[in-house]
């Protein structure tokens, strides 16, 4: 009975040892059967996209109106009664009273705004200067106004005609508002799918 008990203990002991031995060969075979490969996968990603955006702004300020000024030929007339009355001064050597006339026409070249121009005249006779006060005219868009100045004087002997100098004292200036187109950069975040490579083992 004693030997039988020892034999059973021996059998159980060696049996337990056999059961805990890992199946090494089986695990190695499983590892050898694993295959890895690279695949493409779509995943969402966030990006910043920027672009130029046009916008308009209103700007106001003072500006000069464009215009066209033309000085007409100066004329000299004899203003006495008789045969010389109203004739050119050059044809009346005995004229005792003359008139010199100078004229300027101004056209408002602007197509939208009405403007006011002021023109003055300076007459000269020998060393003397005779200034005329400025004349103002309101000129509508694309219209023309005439500035007319006259000076009466004694031409003397021999006949001496007066000179005339026209000056635009105040060109038309208006308050004007207009729109200007500008651009600015605006950015937004967008989400798009992108392709990445991923390793998969089976």
Q: What is the pLDDT of residue 21?
A: 52
Mean local confidence (pLDDT), 127-141: 93
Domain ranges of the chain: 2-56+180-201, 66-171
**pTM for the structure as a whole:** 0.59
Give the helix, strand, coil percentages of the chain, each rounded to 5.
Answer: 15, 60, 25
Domain 66-171 has CATH 2.60.40: yes
Apex 81 CA angle, 79 and 83, nearest 5:
100
pLDDT in tens, 27-79: 565 666 778 888 877 888 888 888 999 988 888 888 899 999 999 999 999 98
pLDDT in tens, 141-182: 999 999 999 999 988 888 888 999 999 998 999 988 878 888
Apex 45 CA angle, 43 and 46, nearest 5:
165
What does each C-alpha distance from 88 to 46, 92, 99, 104 come to in angstroms?
Answer: 90, 7, 10, 20
């Amino acid at each position: 009975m004693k030997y039988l008990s020892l034999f059973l203990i021996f059998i159980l002991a060696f049996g337990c040892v056999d059961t805990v031995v890992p199946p090494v060969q089986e695990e190695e075979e499983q590892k050898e059967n694993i295959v890895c490969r690279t695949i493409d996968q779509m995943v969402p990603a966030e990006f910043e996209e920027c672009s130029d955006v046009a916008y308009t702004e209103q700007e106001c300020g003072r500006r000069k109106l464009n215009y066209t000024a033309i000085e007409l030929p100066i004329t000299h007339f004899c203003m006495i009664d008789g045969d010389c009355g109203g004739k050119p001064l050059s044809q009346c050597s005995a004229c005792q009273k003359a008139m010199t006339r100078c004229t300027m026409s101004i056209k408002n070249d602007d197509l939208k705004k009405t403007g006011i121009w002021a023109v003055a005249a300076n007459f000269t006779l020998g060393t003397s200067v005779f200034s005329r006060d400025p004349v103002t005219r309101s000129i509508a868009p694309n219209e023309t106004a005439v500035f007319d100045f006259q000076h009466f004087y004694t031409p003397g002997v021999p006949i001496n005609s007066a000179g005339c100098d026209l000056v635009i004292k105040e060109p038309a200036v208006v308050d004007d508002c207009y729109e200007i187109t500008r651009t600015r950069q605006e950015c937004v975040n967008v989400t798009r799918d992108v392709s990445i490579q991923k390793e998969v083992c089976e």
